Amino acid sequence: MADPTEPLTYGRYLHLDELLAAQAPLSRPEAHDELLFIIQHQTSELWLKLALHELTGACDDLARDDLALALKRLARVKHVQKQLIEQWSVLATLTPSEYQRFRGFLGTSSGFQSYQYRAVEFLLGAKDPAMLELHADDAAARALLTAALERPSLYDEFLRLLARRGHPVPDDVAHRDVRAAHREDPRLVEVFRTIYDAPERHWDVYETCEELVDIEDNLQLWRFRHLKTVERTIGFRTGTGGTTGASFLRRVLDLSFFPELYAVRTAL
């Protein structure tokens, strides 16, 4: 406590004065629905901060072979994802007419610039060093993304754990350049087929495989809800910040973080 003579209250502990003063609508005259738009995105960033915290912890756990604790953290990530998915239902109450009353005041800002979301993608394995250039003028954002880019992803750490346990993960996969995005490797499908053929013998890693699939499914649901909310609000118009809007969001639905965990289902 900065001043031990003052009692610690709920508001002081949570810094509510600062938190509740952080919503500053820009529209003039002020549009009633802009507050919803701001709170939606601010709360999303708070949940993303927690997701990053848990995913980073899970990566560390896997690196020291503490699979049980990693699974606990991943279970929490899944609950965070559910919160993020359900939030779209609130924003979807924003009609096109209501949005147009303040959209012009958003300038070049865009959700595409969310560095925390990008860091989550990096930790899951979808790495792209070019994304750092979007934050060239933001030292804190660049530092966060650089750290996520340069460390092994959650999938990298899981594959390394499998290799340490004797599963035939190819050496060039276990020790790949972690700054690059993971690419599907058919050799890993065979590794996972052995696990899925005998789940009772490999239960904890089998369970981890399914946790990773759950996380990817949840992220795809989040992307889909994002797409449908954008479509119902602005249709197929250009997004804020010059993005292509719904057409871009539709394309990213095809991106996969753990492709071999889906491919193995066909191979069984």
Reported as a single tens digit per residue, the pLDDT across 56-96 is 999 999 999 999 999 999 999 999 999 999 999 999 999 99
Confirm or deny that 38 is annotated as ligand binding.
yes
Confirm or deny that 99 is annotated as ligand binding.
yes
Confirm or deny that 175 is annotated as ligand binding.
no
Confirm or deny that 223 is annotated as ligand binding.
no
Residue reference for tokens 């499998």: 162
Residues lower than pLDDT 50 in the chain: none
For the chain, give the longest Cα–Cα distance.
66
Residue reference for tokens 């919503």: 23
Confirm or deny that 37 is annotated as ligand binding.
yes
pLDDT recorded at residue 186: 97
For the chain, the structural domain boundaries read 30-267
pLDDT recorded at residue 62: 98
Confirm or deny that 196 is annotated as ligand binding.
no
Confirm or deny that 32 is annotated as ligand binding.
no
Query: How is domain 30-267 classified at the architecture level of CATH?
Result: Up-down Bundle (1.20)
Confirm or deny that 40 is annotated as ligand binding.
yes
User: Sign of the CA dihedral 179, 185, 191, 193?
Assistant: positive
Confirm or deny that 236 is annotated as ligand binding.
no
Q: Is the pTM of this model over 0.85?
A: yes
